[in-house]
Structures are given as structure tokens and as C-alpha cells.
Chain A
């Protein structure tokens, strides 16, 4: 197959940049743990309110530097009393849904988690600035989708 000389240069350049780019993404993901929300845990979607840790949602301290925020998403809101977490500490979000698919998305952060019934989504995040952050649902979930929000308060210790 004949390739024009310029086309060879163009393709070599393109493929080389592709390799560089994918390496950056891959190294950042697997050696620095910059991976998107996910997790392999499952749960019975009809028994969320009786299953730990979702039977007792809210913020719990795991150890000195780690907190867990357990949140239940449902049409059209989030069940998580007193969402207050400290700044500069690792917060592990654990979220599931009692009904349809939602998201838990915190404005101005990289927390953007799909919430799928039957599955538990996990994401670790450390807030750098104190303040009140808007949490919203960005996956269509019904008539009240655009009303589904809550807040999280990040306080200085």
C-alpha cells in the first residue's frame, strides 16, 4: 500500500502523541491512584436501608486522617444527615441508590460519581478549601431531576 511521505510523517507524529498521551493518563492512573469513581461492591437495592453502612448514613471517622461519608441517593434527594467534613482529610464517599440511577456530583471538585442501584460507588477525595459545596444529581432520574440537590459543609479544624 502506497503512503505519501507527508502522510507517513503525519501518522507517525499522530501515533507518537497518542502513545505519549495514553502513557501520561495511564501512569497518573495506576502509579498515582488518579482513578475515576468506581468500586466492585454490591448491595440489594430493595434492602438499602437495612444494610450496613447505609442503615446509618452520614459521616464517620475511620482513623485520624480518614473519614467516610455514607450517602443514600433517591428520587429526588440525598439521605445523609449532617454532611460536615474537615478540610485536608481524605473523605471516602460511599453512595448507592434505593431506586433509579442517579449521580452524586460535588460542584467545584472532581467528585462526579454515577450511582447505580445494586452497586456501591466509591470515591476518595480531599477538600482543599473550606466552605459549603453544592451537591447535585447530573443523571436524569425523573420529573424532579433538576430539584435533586443537597450541600456538604467543609470546615476547618
Chain B
């Protein structure tokens, strides 16, 4: 045998061995992989919230994989729903069509969540909602497949209403939202709180989601003489309205809203006029608990470009709930076993203990208020706007 032939034989033999090794390891990996889906607005106008949630969700899964607790590897299929219904439905179909999927967690926007829920129900794949807050998403018909670890729009608006209506005493309200189901839900939730206190808003507007020119609304607010403006929308409209109110000379008011606005983008887009914006945020003040502080440190140590948003802890918590449910499946998680395990789960995470009621809604409800102070979100109680503080809200 010539040297050249020998070399060629050795080369092909090596290739064969490498092929066997790779093939073998793939086969092993395929047998030991369990997949979960993640859906959220990773790009689009709500990307600040969606991308941070994706980071937190995958971080929790990665920690579980590192722990070596499970005899399988958990793999995440990420779907960017772009905050739109049709993309969300296509993403849901992509997830449920994977035979290794045992559960999914998704959605920050209520519209896409509502559109995709039938896909998960039909495929009998459990979906745990981490961020969409429209109240009707969890209901009797959706049990046992649909659960939610985040609060509803009603649960978010109640603490805000108590603060601004009962404690601060504002009565002259102009309320604004977008026409999406998220905006509509918030508008109705806050109106219900006003009605419960026999207050009729002196103005009300719902704007299309792609609206960037809100100057006509600003003129209406100005003419109405409102002392407080409620915005039940997300960051794009929320920040634009605040800036244009400021530009239009409507500065001496209370401007408040919902968690959809509590993002870093709000601070950037709203810039200086964002000062004094009061927003309700779901969950607890993470810095106040050991578990919360640990999460902040862990998240920040990863070098993500997206900071922690209002629902980032909920996405992390959702992953913890799925992991806990996998434990309950005794090493053999299937979609069917996970459906029941999620609904029956009792998970103590970074925001307390989460259990679900008869319609799949979390029983762990908490919310707190934040204010923009010097270009940063600060918990109201720790800010200079708190009672007797150095700064005051407008409209008084």
C-alpha cells in the first residue's frame, strides 16, 4: 500500500469515526431533549419588554439545565410575535407542530395572546401567560390549557385607582388609550374604578395604535381643563402623549398610566418631559427581598443589553413554574402531564408563591407604583414624590 493510499484510508476512516460520534451524540441528544416555547414581542414597538422577558425566561431554563437536575436537556423555542396577532398565530403553530414541545409560555400583548390561544387549546399544549393582562384571557373555557402568572388589567388598575383617586384625590380626569384589546381593557378597568367612585371623566379618547401625532388630543385635554390624564396604552403612545402634552403647554397635570409604559424606551422617547409620570407596575419591589435581589444580580451579570422591565420577573417566574411542573412529572414530562402539573403547581419564586385558581389565574397578586424621577423609574414610596417629599405631582 502506497503512502498516499494509506493517508487517504486514514482520512476516510477518521471521517467515519467523527461521523459516528456526531451522529451518536445527536441521537443521544434527540432522545434527551424536552422543548418549551417562548413567545413575546422581541422586536417591534414593545421589544424592550419582550426581549428582556425572553432573556429572563431563557436564563431560568439555562440555570435548570446547568443544575443537572433533569435527565434531559430543556430547549427553548423562541418566537418573536412582534406584538401582532397574525405573527403570534404563526408562531404558535410553529411551536405546537414540534413533537417535543411539552409546554409554552408567552405573550405580553393581549391581542396576540387572544389570537393564539385557540392554537394551543386545539393542540392541547399548555400555555402559561407571563405578561398579557386582558382579564378575559383566563376563563372557564380555557381551563386547563391556559394559565396566567401575571395579574389582569383589573388587578393592575385597582392599586393605581386607590392611589390617585382615594389618596391623592384627583377628580377631573381625561382618559386616553389605544384601540387595541390591551388599551380597551385598561380603559374599561380604569373607567370602572372611576364609576365606582361616582366620577365621570371629562374627556375620553381612544387612538389607533400607529398614531404618532397626538396634538389634537393634547388640544382637547387643554380645553377640558383636566387636572389628571390617564393613559392606558403602551410605551409608544404613552411616551408620545406625555411629550406632546408638554410641548403643548399642558404641564401642570398628573400623568399616570399602566405597566405597559414602564420601560426604558419610555424614558428615552419621552426624554425630559417624562419626569413625574406615575405608573403602576405588577409584582413586588425586587430590591426589597433576598430572592428578588438575587434575581437582579443574576440578570445583570449576564450582560444583556435590555434592562429588567415591568414583566421581566414574571417571565422568569413563568419559567420557574414550568420547571417545577416538570419535576412533578417525575422525569417524564409530556404535554398532557404538564397541563395538569402547571394548574396544580405551587411555586415559590422571586415574587412569592404562585398558585392558580379555578380559571387558571394566579392567586399571587401584587402591584406597586413607580414614578419617573431624573430620567429613571423609582418606586413611588422611595422617591422624592412620596408624601411629604421634595417634589410634587401636577394638577394640585
Do chains A and B interact in one complex?
A: no
Residues of chain B touching chain A, judged by Cβ–Cβ distance below 8 Å, are: none
